[in-house]
Amino acid sequence: MKHVFKSLFFMIALTALPDLFADAITGDLVANIQSGSKVDSTTIHFYTATLSYINGGLTFAFPENYFSSAPYVYVTTALNQYQYTSDLEVNPIIVANNEDGVTIRINRENTGLLINGIVEAASDDFFVSILAIGS
């Protein structure tokens, strides 16, 4: 099942690439869970979107009543205006997650000889993409 979510995430992310700031993509999947000769079906909702980071934390708001509880959230980042260096580490952190939305904060860590420390990313330094999966 873990590989299904990863494949789904990359498939949806590639779909969203032509227009990064388009509306979020939502949809439903039906999962068939087999236990012996019995097969149970359940509906799983997904939500994916890509936004430019905002200093202070970026919130993705889910459609009203879409998830009944906090979904599983997968986060990826991509460089936007920040220049890559080999001593850069980017750490997205989920600071809040519930059925209404998720808030992401991005810290960047410079481990070079002259600059060493963790700071929050500036607005527009990165693109943030999420995939939320739940029921």
Q: Note down pLDDT in tens along the chain; length 135 residues.
A: 555 555 555 555 544 444 545 578 898 988 888 889 998 888 899 999 999 999 999 999 999 999 999 999 999 998 887 777 777 788 999 999 999 999 999 998 877 655 567 889 989 989 999 999 998
Helices (H), the chain: 2-16
Region of 15 (left: φ > 0; alpha: ψ -120 to 50; beta: rest) is: alpha
Domain range summary for the chain, segments of one domain joined by +: 2-134
The alpha carbon of residue 133 and the mean position of all alpha carbons in its chain are separated, in whole angstroms, by 10
**Position 24, amino acid:** A
How crowded is residue 98: how many other Cβ atoms within 10 Å of its Cβ?
12
